[in-house]
Chains A and B, each alone.
Chain A
Amino acid sequence: MLRLRMMRIYVLAILSLASLFLSCSKDSPSESSQRAKETQVPQHQAELIVLGAMSLTDALTEISQRFEAEERIQVYCNFAGSSTLQRQIEKGAPADVFIAASSKQVEALQRNGWVYAETRQDVLINKLVLVAHIDASLPFAEPRALVQDAIKRIAIGEPNSVPAGIYGKEALMNLGIWDAVQQELVYGLNVRAALAYVESGNVDVGIVYQTDATISKKVKVIYQFPDSSHTPIVYPAVVIKGTKYESLARKFVEYLKTSDTAEIFEKYGFSIAP
């Protein structure tokens, strides 16, 4: 008896929940703001969603604003780790362009046909550098000096999952000092964490990207790993299948290769891919 009543209440609750959900979606802010936009610029309703690696946040925000102004459309950027973005694309998230921080994710998407492989452009190159605190005075000439006594702790991204850590491990192995410095390594959850360890003075040096070193005012670059010591760090851009605005999306990817955007990327410490 009681259970039957409870069932009834439960069904009622589910129904009311569903109606709440629906009523909310009808005047969800996105639609009402879309409507507002439509009334402002009736002929330009196109909306691009660009998925960008976290490290691109500043540069891509600036670039998309320029593209918005030139094309008179709306560009939304979604920033997260490249593998998060990859998963979102695989689950059919409504998005148009993907710019990853390494080619690994884009290659996986290409293999499974989630993106238009022929639209892929390698936009940027990042470099791997060794940084120390701005006030530190470390005698440093060549990577072998990492083994010296003055350097007790070295921050690096987690060397299996964090891209900067994977590249860093590769570089240290190629330089033949991975085994020697093992005991001194402190793993960061991401490259930002590794940088923060250096900034706060908790480690002596850290292995981060050139772009991180450019943004931070508290660290200085003491060594740049040679390009030959690790897999090239490229940022590929690609158009996602299922985009509603394919030609605009292609145009955006092309736009990333123009001198206008190169200037912005360089401002944030990136190098332009050849």
Chain B
Amino acid sequence: MMLTNLEVAALILSVKAALFSLILIFPPGLLVGWVLAKSSFRGKSLLNTVVMLPLVLPPVVSGFFLLMLFSKRGPIGQLLFRLFGLEIVFSELGVVLAISVISFPLLVRGIVTAMQGVSPQLESAARTLGAHPLKVFFTVTLPLSYRGIIGGAILGFSKSLGEFGATMMVAGNIPGKTQTLSLTIFTYIQTGTDASVYRLVLISTVIAFVALWIAERFYFKW
């Protein structure tokens, strides 16, 4: 099975961006998940809604909002360009941004569910014994919920690999530069190149399969 250079580039970009995005959103995802699972405060449901929004919106709409915010004429994009000379639109950074926003809710959902499963009695017991909240987090909450957290991370990673609506809006669909594997598949479908579609779908499936398989191995070895 031969791949063209552009398809190889798309494959590498997809995996790289999805991994990078996961590293980027994992710490804030852990924090937001913890906050949503373990504390109550005014505006909690608002935070929850904002985080979950990309899950509900059509990806193209999320992408459009990102385009408005991060383009050179948008508030954040303008700032990034002036301060650091960064251009998000039509760049690999745009890919990472788009898939991060789209996969963040899935990661957080997984983390929230996992952490809600940890008994609050164990945590308060640790606290009454004088443990710092951070220590409680790292020695009680986290070890007891890691499976669900890994599950959320894998779900987010898989979603990143498949995302293309928001990516196309922000990063564009530039072969050899910002065209991811799923964008390549989308383009092939749009232009009627059937044989190539099947080939790339097979590759996508294999990647997802391997990712899940590795995750399973992780579970049992721990």
- Answer yes or no: A215 CB below 8 A from chain B CBs: yes
Interface of A, secondary structure class, is helix
Chain B interface residue count, CB cutoff 8 Å, equals: 45
B interface residues, Cβ below 8 angstroms from A: 13, 16, 20, 23-24, 27-28, 31, 35, 39, 41, 60, 64, 67-68, 71-74, 77, 84, 86-87, 89-93, 96, 133-134, 168-169, 172-178, 187, 189-192
Task: Tell me the count of chain A residues lying within 8 A, CB to CB, of chain B.
Answer: 43
User: Inside 8 A of A95's CB, which chain B residues have their CB?
Assistant: 90
Whether A80 is near chain B, meaning CB under 8 Å from some CB there, is yes
> Could you pull out 21 A-B pairs where Cβ atoms are within 8 angstroms?
A6-B39, A9-B31, A9-B134, A13-B28, A28-B93, A54-B187, A54-B190, A61-B175, A76-B175, A77-B174, A77-B175, A78-B174, A88-B71, A88-B169, A91-B67, A91-B89, A93-B89, A94-B90, A192-B190, A192-B192, A212-B192
Interface of B, secondary structure class, is helix
Which of A16, A22, A91 meets B68, CB within 8 Å? Answer: A91
**Which of B31, B89, B174 is within 8 Å of A13, CB to CB?**
B31
Q: Contact between A30 and B192 (Cβ–Cβ < 8 Å)?
A: no
- Cα A22 to Cα B77 in complex, Å, equals 14
Question: CB-CB < 8 A to B71: which residues of A?
Answer: 88, 91-93
Given contacts A49-B90, A80-B173, contact A87 B190 (CB under 8 A): no
A190-B189 Cα distance, complex, nearest whole Å: 11
Q: Could you tell me the distance in whole angstroms from the C-beta of B137 to the nearest C-beta in chain A?
A: 9
Looking at the complex, which one of B23, B24, B92, B189 makes contact with A28 (CB distance below 8 Å)? B92
| Residues in B neighbouring A272, C-beta threshold 8 A | none
Q: Find B93's partner among A24, A92, A212 (CB 8 Å cutoff).
A: A24
